[in-house]
Structure 1
Amino acid sequence: MKTTLSDFVIAFLDLMEAEGRTLKTASIRVGWGMAFIILATVFMLVASSSFLWGIYQLLITVVSPPAAAMLIALFALILAAVAAVIAKMVSR
C-alpha cells in the first residue's frame, strides 16, 4: 500500500481534532480550578483580616492602640514568613 502526503495530512488533522477536544476539556477543568482557588484566596483574606482585627480589638484593652497595631503587624509578618517557608518546601 502506498502512503501519500494526503494520507499524512488527513491523519494529522484527525489527531489534531481529537487532541483539540482533550485540550478543551483540560482547559475548562483548569479554568474552574483557578476560579475556585481565587475564591478560596478571597475567603482566606477575609478570614485572616477578621481574625487579626479581633486580636487587635482584644489587645487595645491591654496595651495602647499603636502598640497593639505593631504587635498585630509582627504577628502577621511571622505568619507570612511561615507560609513562605511552607510554600518553598512544598514547591521542591
Structure 2
Amino acid sequence: MGILTTLLDIATAFLRLLEAEGRILKRAVMNAGWALACIGVASLLVLAAAGFFLTGVYQYLAAQLSPAAASLLVSLLAFLLALIFAGIAKWRTADPK
C-alpha cells in the first residue's frame, strides 16, 4: 500500500509540474504572438510613413503648397505610430527579471 501511495504522489506531482510548465509555455507563446503582430504593424506603418514622406517632399518641392505640408504631417504621424507599436512590442517581450 505504501508503494502505491508513493507512486500516486509522484504521478500527481508530475502532472502538477506539467500544468505549471504548460501555463508558462502559453504565456511565452502569447508574448511572442503579440510581439510579431506589433512588429508587423510597425513594419507596415514604417513603409506607409516612408511613402508619405517621399510624396510630401516631392509635392513640397514641386508645388510649394499646403497639401505637401499635410503629407509631411501624415508621414510624421505614421512614424510616431510605428515607434509606439515598436515600443509596445519591446515592452510585451521584455524579460521581467
**Percent identical residues:** 8
TM-score of the two chains, using structure 2 as the length reference: 0.51
The Cα shift of 1:53 comes to: 0.9
Match of 2:45 in 1: 44
Letter in 2 for 1:28: V
Letter in 1 for 2:39: I
The Cα shift of 1:14 comes to: 3.2
Match of 2:26 in 1: 25
CA distance in 2, matches of 1:54, 1:35: 29
Structure 1 residue ranges without an equivalent (≥5)? 1-5, 88-92
> CA RMSD of the aligned region, Å?
3.5
Q: Which runs of 4+ in 1 moved over 4 A?
A: none
Higher relative contact order (CA 8 A, sep 6+): 2
Structure 2 residue ranges without an equivalent (≥5)? 1-5, 88-97
TM-score of the two chains, using structure 1 as the length reference: 0.53
